[in-house]
Every structure is written in C-alpha cells, then in structure tokens.
Structure 1
Amino acid sequence: MTAFARRAGTLAVLAAAPLLLSGAPAWAHEHGAPAGASAPDVTAVFVRCLALLGVAVAAGLSVSGRPGVRRWTIAAAVTGAVAELSAAPSVVSALLAAAVLALPWLPVRAAAAVGAAAGLGVVLPAAPLGPLTVVLLAGLGCVALQCARPAPAVGWPQAAAAAGAVAVAVSLAGAPQPPDPGVPMLRTVAVGAGALPVFVTPQAPGWNLVHFGAEDVQAGLDPGALTPARARPGTAGSWALVNLPAGRSRLWIARGGATGSLKLDTGRTPSRADVTTDDGPECASAALGAVLAGSRERAGACPAQELTRDDAGALRAMVAFVAGRHAAAVSVVSDGSPRGAAARAVVESAARAAGLPVTGPGEHPLFVLSGWAAADATLRDVGAGRVRAQGSYLAPWLLNGPLLTAPSAPLLPLRFDVHDSTPSGYLAALTAAFPGEAPTGVGYTSWMRRHDVPAGPLRLYAASQLFVPGDQGHDHQHSASWVPSGTVTAVTGRLA
C-alpha cells in the first residue's frame, strides 16, 4: 500500500468518527429511549471501549506470530478481560474474559478462531444488531488485521482504525436496546422538540393499545393515514388501538405538526391480553407496573378476566363492615366482565349471609364492582345526585386517581397504605418514567409482586380531595399523588 493510500484511509476513518457520533442520537430515537433513562455514564463508555480494543489488539498480535510481542499481547488481553468483566459482570463475561486471556498462548489458527468468537461476544451485547454493529465489527477487525501485519504494531493506519472503533463504541455505548419481541414496551419518543412517553401493550401480533403521555396525538403504521388517539374514562393522557403485524414494524406518531417514530417487534405469538374492551387501560396499567419493576415477560391475561382470591376476600370484608353498621340494604353496580360477574356473586352471597337485602340504588351503601369506564360514569352520577347512595364502596381495583375526583364519598378496601415507602417507590418510578400518569392499585400490585413485597393488613380507606382557600403561591397541578389534589387515608383498623 502506498503512503498516499495509507494517509487517505487514515483521513477517511478519522472523518467517519464524528459522523458516527452525530448519527447515534437519530438511531437511538428509532428505538426510543428507555423512559426515565439517564445519560450513559462516561466511565462505563470508556470501560466498554477498553474491552473492545483490548480483544482486537490481543487477537491481532496473537495471529501475527511475531517474536517479541508476547508481553504486549498479554497486556492487551488482560486489559480486555478486566474491562469486559467490569462492563458487564456475568457468567458469559467471565467465559469471554477467560478466552481473551488464553489468546497469548494459543497457536495461530486457534487464536484466530477464539479471537473472532471473543470479538463477537464482546461486541453484540454493546451494540444491537443493525448497520452500526457491522461498522463496529469492521472497525475492530481492522484493528486486529493491522496488529497482525508483519510490521510495527503501532502506526498511522492502526491509530486511525483505533480512533474509528472508539468513535463507534462511544456512539453505541448506552444506546437503547431494540424491543423485546412480544413484551410490553415503554419508551420516550422524540416528536419535534419535545419528548413523549409512549407505552405499547401487549406488543404482540394483533390489536395493541398505545398509551401517550399527552393529548392531541395521532398514531398509526402509515405516516399518511394516522388515527387520532383519544381520552378514555377514568384515565389520563390519550389512547390509540393499533393493529400490529407479526414481527418488526414502525409506529408513526404525530403531535403539533411534528412527527416521530418507534420501532416495534411483536414476535410471532399472539397475546392472551385483550386490550380492545373498555378494560384495556386497566390492563395496560397492570402491564406498566410490571415493566417499571423490571419485568421482561410477555403480558398475561388482563385483570378483568378473573376475580382474585385477595379481591374476593376484600369484598366480603367490606360487606361485613357495612352489615356491622346496621345498613338497611345494599345496591350493586357491576359489568359483564368475568371479574365483574364473579364480584357481584360474592357481594350478593355475603349480603344474604349477613341478612342484607340487595336492592336498587337508594339511601344505603352502593357497591361499585365494574371496570374503570363504567365506574367513572357511576361515580359522576352519584356526585351529581343522579344516583342516590349512602356512600360509594369501591372494589380494590378502582384505586385510580381520575376515578376518585367525583364527590361520591368513595371507600376502598386496600392491603397497603399509599403513604408507606413501598407504594411511594412505585409512585416515584412511575413519575420518572411516565410523567403525568396516574398511579393505580392494579399497577402497584403488579409492581409489588415483582419486588416480592408482602401484602399488608386489609383496611378500609377513604379517598378525599383537599381544598385550600386562596392562592398559597404553590403550583400543585403537576405534583404526583394517588388522588389529584387529594389523599387516601385509612378510616378503619384491620378488617376481619
């Protein structure tokens, strides 16, 4: 190779470095940044670069077979192995480190095979599959080939190749991974100058519910034919039903004249979660709680598909509480979901056992056992006086701030106090990842199970709003709480 060609190649590699760095944010936005994620740690980026370059240099020098470079090969192998273990400590990293450490003592052919395998093992966790992965592998291969030449180990071509590899590594380190196929996905998507939190569930072939942390949003698979997302009763933000194909696709999102996109991968297996009904937002809230807890599992059946043993016990205890207050009768509002039908049967059976008639609405307790949409309408009717009731007794799954703003004297049986540290941890995680989203009982329950937090004693809680007269100079509009401008407080001791 002539000196001119070497210098031209050097300049080309050095010129490509800033282009790769500038292109990294655009590539990241295609996948969407993990919601609530912070900027990558500079130290972690540097360690990853050391691991990548250490493996490439050690492999190249091992293949060269030149005398007098054993100590440099050992130094590069140790650097790469230690950096790999520091970047991602695991059993796989330990095996990769052992393979890299063996390179200085392997024959040429064995060193070539082991070096190639170790290079792939180090690169793939750092860079999702795609064009930049190919560039990164090519850059590391260039380093290895230059080191394997029967020439001095360090020169302008080697330095240029190393600079290009470092640039690519820096651009990829900390970048978001592609979506897990068939797993609900939470991302922050760049739309114009703003960032929009987006949650897709179940991210499986067929109908999916897409939740946005804003209104006036449009979404769809065709940028020329987007569907407006709409508000849902008892929820915040907006929602859109999108029919996704199997495998990879791109979701287009528009707001305020700007457009962004999000890459999806639904996999090939349909989900058991049916998000097309009015209970879809509750199903999404449960899935979101699991994602916030670090779950990477497929979405299961929606909460409205069955009545859990804990919820059935809470309903019986609530009937016993009402009976102990000598109520004349009770009334029930439910829906046609499997959970709603089962909950009605439990309450009616417990009421008969306690000698309480079950009648229409009147001057007696009203048990609300439906999903969010029907409960929203019922509680608004109670607050407006269109439905008579002596207090509203809500099922546990109706702990949802937007539902509790109507003046309907709502009471709920819960096994946790929202002011304790664990529910506060869920609230903080939700606020950081999806600003403006309302915390819910089903979301916290899903989050709590994945943190192995035991349920507490069952108590009856009252949801109430707090009104402070006059302007106190504080803006609470965007503060996070379980009830907007209100609180949830225990009003009984442990229920039997």
Structure 2
Amino acid sequence: MNHPHGDLDVGGGSALALVLRLALVLVTAFVAGTGLVRPQLTTRRVRHFALALAGLSAALVVTSVLTQEVNVVAAVVHVVLVAAVPLLLGRPAVVRWVSAALVLLLVIETSVGDSGVAFVVNTVFVAVSAALLGVGPFRDLRPLALSLGVVLVLAGAVRLATSGIAFDRRIYESGLGLVLLAVVLVAALTLVLRNGYVVALALVAWAALPAVAVPPSLPEPGVPVLVDARLADRVVPVLVSPHRPGRNLVHFPASAGNGLRVGDVPAVPRAGAPGTWAEVDLPPGRGEVVISDGAETVAVRVDPGTAPGPGPDAECATAALGTLIAGLREVLTSCPSDSLSTEDSDSLQKLVGFLKAKGTAGIRLVTDTSPRSTKAAELVRASGLRIDDGKRPDNALVVVSGWETAHEALTRAGAEQAESPVYTHGLYVAPWLLHTPIATAVTTVSVPLRFDPREPLPVGYAVAVGNGFGGEDPTPAGFRAWVGRPSDGGVQIYAVAQVSAMPMGPNEVHGPGMPMQEELAGQWVPKATVVPVSPLLS
C-alpha cells in the first residue's frame, strides 16, 4: 500500500535523474575537497586519483546534458572547474580558489529553491562534507576532521529542526523524516569513525533530500483534509470534509477520472457539484481512509476528533477548499447554506427590483429547506411579485435553493423551453449558484453579482483553485473563503451564455469575458461567457 507522504519525487524525471544527481554531487565533492584540504600534494597516486574522479565527474555532467534538462552553461563551467583541480595540485594558492569555486557551484546545484536558513545550512553542509572528504585518512588532519564533523552534525540538526516535522510523528512516519534522521545520525558517526565512507553516505543522504516529497500536514479535528494522494504513477487530489465524526464527504476533481473508491464506497457525481464524491462514516479519533482505483490503494490520514460538526455538504466542502487553497487551516464550524448573508440578501432585493423594472408579471420560485433558502424565499415573496407554482409563459424563473435542487430545476426548465416558450422574462439564480454544473444546465442564465468574474482577484482565485485541486472550477463560496471577506462592489446582473467563440472582425480585439478559445485559465464557467447585462443596480 502506498502513502501520500514520503514518496520519492525526482521532479518529473526518472530514477536516472536522481542517480546522476547523487553520483555527481559525491564525486565532485571528493575532487573539490582534495583541492581545498590537500592542495600541496603532488604524488602520482593522489594526482591520478584526482584525475580519475574529475574524469568521472565530467562524464556524469555530459550524461546529464544528454539525458536531462540541464543548463549547458553551468555544465561547461562545472567540467572546466573539476578538470582544473587535479591539474593545479601542487599550486596551493591557485587550486584552493578553483576548489572553492567548485564547492560554490555544488552549493548552487544542491540548493535550488532554497532561501534564508535553508540556503545557509545547505552551504555549510556541502562545504564541510567536501572538506571532510578531502581530509581522507591523513592522521595529521584528524583534529581538523573532528571540528568539521561537529559542524556537519550541527548543520544536519538545524535542517532537521527547521523542517517543520521534527516535533511530530511525521519524523518517523514519512520518507522525509527518515532521510533527515539518517543525515543527522550518519553525520554524528563521522565524529566516531572519522571515515570518508561515512561522510560520503551523509552527503548522499543530504543530496537526496530535494527528491523526497514533503509530507502533508497532520490532520486536525474539524479542519478539512486536503492532500495529494499518489496512485501508481498519478497524483490524485483528495478533500475530506467536514472532517468530524460521522458522515463525511470525500471529494475528487473531475480530472481524477471515474472508478475511484473510498473503502467500499464508490465516488460518484452529485447533482450540481463538480467531480466525484463519496459519502463515508468516520469514527472518532485518528484513523485513515483508503482510496483505490481498482489496481492501487493509498491511505490518507484523518483525525476527526470527537466533537460534532456541520453535516456533509458539497458547497460547504468547496468553501473549505477555498480556505485551504489560501493557505489557512481553520476549523469548519458552519456552512454557507446555514444563513442568508447581508450581501446576498441585498443582491436578491436588487434582483427583484430589476425584475419589476423589466415589467415581469410573476415568478416561479425554486427553494429548498435550508435556512438560507428559507430566508431568501421570504425576501422574494415579500417583494409583491406574483409567485406561481406552475409554469407560465410570462414568468421568470428564480432559483434560491442549494446546488442539487437548483441543478434539477434548471435542467427541467431547459427541457421545458425546448418544447414550448416558457419563462420569457428569463432564468435567474441566486449569487451563490454561479457554478459550472448549474450555470451550464441551460443555454443562458442570469445572476446578480457583487464582483466581476473577469477582474484580477476572481480570476486569481479561479487559477489558484484550478492549480491546487486538479483543475477544479471556482465557486462563490470558495471565492469568499479564499478572499476572507465578502465582496464589496455594487450589484449587477450578469448573463452566463454557453458560447465558445464570438463573431468579430479580422482585426478586432475580443472583449473581456469573451474568449476566442474554449479553455482559458481563470474562467469562472469554462466554454461560456460571463458578461454584465445591466448597469449597477440601486
């Protein structure tokens, strides 16, 4: 059984990339250390040994250039420096500078993405390892080796302490934790054994660290779980919400495909919701959910605690996802459907005023039993517009329910419109229903919004949630949670139309919200346009 933590990740390459990296770091460190610590040695044995290692290092660089995506300029510099060290042995003043430059190049090559403390610690560990490898068996240098060994252990300990996993069970349950422990323990052995082989092993373990996946944060009761689970050769994003004892939803994006199971429960589509979902019961306390695709299984840690929480709700899960994508780990205490917000109440009031101004005779109102929908229905009924239970040609359809009921109502309305003229004053949904499965259930639908989905902030959220959860489409609940505050703009009516291309002149630049291609990063409703069809409503 695989786990979503501690797996090797060689940057999308292969095992060859990792082997080349480790071998190149080790061999080059031997050459650089020789020039740093023993620059005055000119015996044939030392020179031949250094030349052989330099040749091997150069061969590894050439192999990397031919098989991997490697910066050619850096590769050439590496070859020149590593070849110069054995040729300059016996000229201490020169070879030490060349060796120092080679160590610096090693530091750069092993610290990609590091900054601050991580960069400093990597610099110290690589430089000290190279020096220790250069010390070798020479007894007169053993006091130096002892001092360098102490520094090596301290550098490893700092890396462990700043890893973020040093003080919890991930230190012994994850691959990263085990490799970090190995680095510190093997570095400590250099103080006892003072052997080049031990130093080499410590350096190999250190160089392997970037290839080990960082384990996900430990689950906290009430904080929905978001992890990337590895099934065979693919990564599947997983969201567990509300992460409390009892009934929970396990959500996968559409890009994860069909056929996934959580335990014995298949993940299936839900009306009005993206991707697939499995309803499972979680017992109190620490545990795991096992996800499978028929061939492979992976365990995802959970810890729902003992306290009760919100019920399983897909919209609520996407709100939690927005919070997690924003980098926050907050206990989920309520769901958007638990109450009608002041902003949504104002938007619905202005929608009703807009319909009155259009001369709409009456509306057909779609609701459900949630507190938000109940309050919204009371607001609409108090407007004075005629409310009809049946369909009438001069009506508008207004949907203020949750996702599932809204999807069913709009799907039915689309079928009715295909048979005869109904809802000639249009189809309207509440602000919380601007979501792909609902907005695309009919050809055109309108929604009162306090933000423009084409502006940078909403587009930024759409990109972030897509990147963070397998191409997931944005939702208003997720956007509000991601931003951390309600939208404060004026209310406009926006129309969502399933149009993938707009007719334009040959030199005309397309307008915002009217993409000329079907897929565009940051779209709120892919393969559709979302454009304002009213001025700001007062």
Query: Which amino acid letter does the alignment assign opposite residue 302 of structure 2?
Result: D
Kindly tell me: are residues 72 and 416 of structure 1, through their superposed partners in 2, closer, same or farther at Cα, counting changes over 3 Å? Answer: farther
Whole-angstrom distance in 1 between the partners of 2:491 and 2:244? 36
Question: What amino acid sits opposite 2:215 in the alignment?
Answer: P
Structure 1 window deviating more from structure 2 (205-214 vs 384-393): it is 384-393
Q: Deviations over 1:83-121 (max 9, x none)?
A: 89xxxxxxxxxxxxxxxxxxxxxxxxxxxxxxx8x6863
* TM-score, structure 2 normalization: 0.65
Aligned-partner SS, 2:320: helix
Structure 1: which 5+ residue stretches go unaligned? 1-25, 62-66, 85-115
1:269 and 1:459 mapped to 2: Cα distance?
Answer: 44
Quick one: which amino acid aligns to residue 528 of structure 2?
G
- Match status 1:326 vs 2:359: yes
2:380 equivalent to 1:347: yes
Query: Could you tell me whether the CA contact under 8 Å between 2:3 and 2:299 is conserved in 1?
Result: no
CA contact (8 A) 1:314 1:414 kept: yes
Is 1:246 matched with 2:287? no
* Aligned counterparts of 2:280 and 2:523: Cα–Cα separation in 1: 30
Aligned to 1:372, which of 399, 403, 427?
A: 403
Q: Distance in 2 between matches of 1:348 and 1:285?
A: 29
Output the amino acid matched with 2:236: L
Check 1:269–1:54 CA distance in 2 against 1; reply closer, same or farther (3 A cut): farther
Match of 1:43, SS?
A: coil
Q: 1:457 aligns to what? A: 490
> Which whole-Å CA distance do the structure 2 matches of 1:219 and 1:313 have between them?
42
Q: What whole-Å deviation, never above 9, does each CA across 1:401-453 have from its counterpart, x for those lacking one?
A: 1112233642111011111111111111122222342222222122122xx68
Instruction: Indicate if the aligned counterparts of 1:45 and 1:169 stay in contact, CA closer than 8 A.
Output: no
Q: TM-score, normalization: structure 1?
A: 0.70
Determine the C-alpha separation between the residues in 1 that align with 2:319 and 2:402. 13
Q: 1:120 to 1:229 in 2, by over 3 A?
A: closer
1:359 aligns with 2:388: yes
Contact 2:111 2:122 in 1 (8 A): no
Query: 1:261 is paired with a residue of what secondary structure?
Result: strand
Kept after mapping to 2: 8 A contact 1:219/1:251: no
CA distance in 2, matches of 1:45, 1:143: 21
Alignment of 1:148-163 (within 5 A): 149=192, 154-156=194-196, 158-160=198-200, 162-163=202-203
Whether 1:422 aligns to 2:492 is: no
* 1:272 aligned onto 2:303: no
What is the correspondence of 1:435-446 to structure 2 with a 5 Å cutoff?
435-446=470-481
Equivalent in 18, 27, 43 of residue 112 of structure 2? 43
* Map of 1:397 onto structure 2: 432
Q: 1:457 to 1:80 in 2, by over 3 A?
A: farther
Rounded Cα–Cα distance in structure 2 between residues aligned with 1:145 and 1:195: 37
Change (3 A) 1:369 1:453: closer
| Cα deviation digits, residues 10-32 of structure 1 (max 9, x gap) | xxxxxxxxxxxxxxxx9763478
Structure-to-structure mapping, 1:31-110, within 5 angstroms:
42-44=111-113, 48=118, 51=121, 73=147
Pick closer, same or farther for the CA change 1:269–1:44 going to 2, 3 Å.
farther
% identical aligned pairs: 30
Match of 2:295 in 1: 258
**CA displacement, residues 113-149 of structure 1 (integer Å, 9 cap, x when unaligned):** xxx8x686345547932255356335413423542x5
Structure 1 residues 407 and 207 mapped into 2: Cα distance closer, same or farther (>3 Å)?
closer
| Residue 258 (structure 2) aligned to one of 216, 219, 230 | 216
1:196 aligns with one of 229, 232, 236: 236
Q: Which structure would you say has the larger Rg?
A: 2
**How far apart, CA to CA, are the structure 1 residues paired with 2:527 and 2:481?**
25
Which residue in the other structure is 2:327 paired with?
Answer: 294
More divergent stretch after superposition (320-329 vs 130-139): 130-139
Greater displacement, 236-245 / 406-415: 406-415
Counterpart residue number, 1:112: none
* Cα distance in 1 between the residues matched to 2:414 and 2:460: 32
The reply on whether 1:493 has 2:532 as its aligned counterpart is no
Matches of 1:215 and 1:161, distance apart in 2: 42
Q: Does 1:434 align with 2:463?
A: no
Aligned-partner Cα distance in 1 for 2:4–2:315: 28
**Does the CA-based 8 Å contact 2:435-2:525 persist in structure 1?**
yes
**1:379 and 1:406 in contact (8 A); partners too:** yes
Taking a change above 3 Å as real, the CA distance of residues 267 and 371 of structure 1, as seen in their structure-2 partners, is: closer
Distance, in Å, in 1 between the alignment partners of 2:528 and 2:190 is 67
Partner secondary structure for residue 477 of structure 2: helix
Paired position in structure 2 for 1:175:
214
- Secondary structure of 2:4's counterpart equals helix
In structure 1, distance between residues paired with 2:260 and 2:272: 20
Q: Decide whether aligned partners of structure 1 residues 391 and 300 sit closer, same or farther in structure 2, where only a CA change above 3 A counts.
A: same
For the residues of structure 2 that align with 1:407 and 1:139, how far apart are their CA atoms? 59
Distance 2:230 2:142 in 1: 53
- Give the residue type in structure 2 aligned to 1:429: A
